[in-house]
Structure 1
Amino acid sequence: MDVLSYQLTRARARGAVFSALRRVAPWGLAFTGRRPLTAHILLDGAGWLTPSQEEPVRLAAGDVVLATAGDPYEIVSEVGADIETITDARRRGSDHGPGQASHIVCGAYVVEGSVGKSLLESLPRFARIPAHAQNPRHRDAISLLAAEAEGTGSGQQVLLDRLLDLNLVYALRTWWQQEHQRAPGWYRALTDPRLARVIQAIHAHPERTWRVESMARTAEMSRAGFSATFKEIIGQSPGSYLTQLRMGHAEDALLRTDATLAAIAADVGYTNEFAFATAFRRAHGLPPGQWRATHRPTLQREATTTAAQRDAVHRSDTL
């Protein structure tokens, strides 16, 4: 698995709530801004993103906007247009009358854990990926998403979910290429072949006994040169990065499996349960067993809520 795939998988970045709406101008949609990560795609027509604390941003056909959590905002056909909440819009369904129409796709993502937090911190409040800057395959995926959103065939929801996930990968790639200095450190490191070998190796096998010396050998660099380059590009020491990676694996295992602490310790590269518990408590403020007992019920409640939301949205969109 490549590093971007790993990060998105660990962050559980997948579509949770989805809608595809046709609107005839003038129109406006209001969003609470509470979702950790939401993607908006203006499939055709034109519009405006109107944040509550910023100047409006012009949107053209094919533009993608990634929105992280914050103040409420709106997407409108023209500044000053009457608006309705996205909840009411989903309940009402698409407009089918004549006039200047736009189709807009909105998908909220589930993003979890420290890996998800790191991913979100690399994004601004709004990241706009204009159509002209998109990879041709990204534009093809958006076209396919638009076509599928218009259909009613069997398996449609699964296809829409996967296409929404595909959009996120392409959008993140493009944004980080455009805003390289704002990209996560691991992504910046992938542009350096020496560091890329190390990042890929420790992501593939975090349980191995990694030392700075062994990482430097993998990079084919001196120990001092490797440490300095790693910290300059990634923003943290090799040891800190490895610990953070292992903690991400541990979080996942604690929340989603019934594995013992000893088994988890071995899987993430610690020689014994005590060493693992010490490192985990230093990173999280709680021992792993207590952290599991505190966070697992929350995860289960959120999963139940998400499933109910998906069912409600799907029913309202097919009315």
Structure 2
Amino acid sequence: MDVLSDQLARARARGAVFSTLRRTAPWGLEFSGRRPLTAHILFDGPGWLSPARAEPFPLAAGDLVLATAGDPYRLVSEVGAPAETIGDARRRGSDDSQGPAVRVLCGSYVVEGSVGRSLLTALPQFTRIPSAAQHPLHRDAIALLAAEAGGSGAGQQVLLDRLLDLNLVYALRARWQQDEGRAPGWYRALAHPGLARVIEAVHRRPADRWTLEAMAQTAAMSRAAFAAAFKTVVGRSPGAYLTDLRMGLAEDALLRTDATVSTVATSVGYTNEFAFATAFRRAHGLAPGRWRAEQRTAAAGDRAQDPTA
């Protein structure tokens, strides 16, 4: 079980390129900072990222920045350069005038649910991964993304979306390898063979009867040693981690299927609907059926306000 892939899939973390713009200096793009997760890459030239309430920092060609929701910010050719909103820039299109030019790729990600929120809280507002620090395969993926963004062949949008997905996996790997202390607990556990076996097994078979004894046997550790190691590395007890995993799966099933609450309960490992409803209410403050109705109403309202989301 590839746990990172599982987490990204359950967070609905998938890319949707929303702009690839050519700009000649001086240039600037302004962002509201409201989108949950956005990737920025400058092709062909340098620039600066200028946050609203922090010091600007330089970007070289090929550098990647992941931006989570927060304060507004700007991508600019130089500090103080005038900037247009990304919405106005998209409507205007690329600049074909002569002079020093860059191509700016800005790709948003769909990130949903409690799993998505967990991923995002593991990131600061801005994560810069310099080209020089990228894995060679990541640089290759960015080069392919640059080449495809500059073309106009059939199926281009699908390729750009998938390459943006690939970019996110490499970027998260790089971020958490550079600063393991900020990585999610499940990611840190993957470096421990015994804990990794348990994390992978519960993600693969979350509905199994996972007692502490069963988890400890999977880890090939004593119950006491396993419980202590899991809490130290992951930051939560094995039982709490399993409950969080099951609640995330239940959220997904409630939102994206019309399965009954009883069916959802069984699918995530609860023996009866009452036990599931109790656990769900403890985690979310609402009964599963009411939570489903409120979430679907809110999602419909969000789509109506932002058709590009």
Query: Shorter-chain TM-score category?
Result: over 0.9
Q: Distance in 1 between matches of 2:68 and 2:50?
A: 14
Query: Do 2:17 and 2:160's aligned partners in 1 also have CA atoms closer than 8 Å?
Result: no
Structure 2 unaligned segments of length 5 or more: list them: none
1:75-114 → structure 2 map (5 Å cutoff):
75-114=75-114
Letter in 2 for 1:92: R
* 1:157-212 CA distance string (max 9 Å, x none): 11111111111111011001001000000000001111000000000000000011
Q: Distance in 2 between matches of 1:261 and 1:276?
A: 9
> Which residue number corresponds to residue 309 of structure 1?
308
The secondary structure found in structure 2 opposite 1:309 is coil
Letter in 1 for 2:225: G
Q: Distance in 2 between matches of 1:22 and 1:108?
A: 18
> Which residue number corresponds to residue 2 of structure 1?
2
Q: Distance in 2 between matches of 1:276 and 1:44?
A: 54
Q: Distance in 1 between matches of 2:249 and 2:117?
A: 14
Alpha-carbon offset, residue 125 of structure 1: 1.0
* 1:96-146 CA distance string (max 9 Å, x none): 121111111001111100000000000001011111111111111111111
Letter in 2 for 1:97: S
Q: Distance in 2 between matches of 1:269 and 1:204?
A: 12
In the alignment, is residue 51 of structure 1 matched against residue 43 of structure 2? no
Q: Distance in 2 between matches of 1:252 and 1:23?
A: 41
In the alignment, is residue 256 of structure 1 matched against residue 256 of structure 2? yes
Q: Distance in 1 between matches of 2:304 and 2:272?
A: 35
The secondary structure found in structure 2 opposite 1:106 is strand
> Which residue number corresponds to residue 118 of structure 1?
118
Q: Distance in 1 between matches of 2:17 and 2:296?
A: 22
Q: Distance in 1 between matches of 2:173 and 2:283?
A: 29
The secondary structure found in structure 2 opposite 1:80 is coil
> Which residue number corresponds to residue 217 of structure 1?
217
Q: Distance in 1 between matches of 2:90 and 2:61?
A: 21
In the alignment, is residue 21 of structure 1 matched against residue 21 of structure 2? yes
Letter in 1 for 2:243: T
Alpha-carbon offset, residue 301 of structure 1: 4.2
Structure 1 unaligned segments of length 5 or more: list them: 311-319
Alpha-carbon offset, residue 299 of structure 1: 2.6
| TM-score where L is the length of structure 1 | 0.94
Q: Distance in 2 between matches of 1:44 and 1:192?
A: 41
Alpha-carbon offset, residue 17 of structure 1: 4.9
Alpha-carbon offset, residue 304 of structure 1: 5.9
The alignment-based identity, stated in percent, is 69
Query: Do 1:50 and 1:74's aligned partners in 2 also have CA atoms closer than 8 Å?
Result: yes
Alpha-carbon offset, residue 302 of structure 1: 3.8
> Which residue number corresponds to residue 156 of structure 2?
156
Query: Do 1:43 and 1:142's aligned partners in 2 also have CA atoms closer than 8 Å?
Result: no
**How large is the RMSD of aligned CA atoms in angstroms?**
1.2
Alpha-carbon offset, residue 14 of structure 1: 1.2
Going from structure 1 to structure 2, the CA distance change for 1:246 and 1:31 (only over 3 Å counts) comes to same
* 1:20-44 CA distance string (max 9 Å, x none): 0111111111000001111101122
Query: Do 1:17 and 1:309's aligned partners in 2 also have CA atoms closer than 8 Å?
Result: no
Q: Which runs of 4+ in 1 moved over 4 A?
A: 303-306
Letter in 2 for 1:134: Q
> Which residue number corresponds to residue 74 of structure 1?
74
Alpha-carbon offset, residue 95 of structure 1: 1.1
Q: Distance in 1 between matches of 2:164 and 2:305?
A: 20
Q: Distance in 1 between matches of 2:169 and 2:261?
A: 33
Letter in 2 for 1:95: D
Which structure has the higher relative contact order (CA within 8 Å, separation 6+)? 1
> Which residue number corresponds to residue 179 of structure 1?
179
Q: Distance in 1 between matches of 2:34 and 2:120?
A: 13
Query: Do 2:16 and 2:164's aligned partners in 1 also have CA atoms closer than 8 Å?
Result: no
Letter in 1 for 2:23: R
Aligned residues: 309
> Which residue number corresponds to residue 228 of structure 1?
228
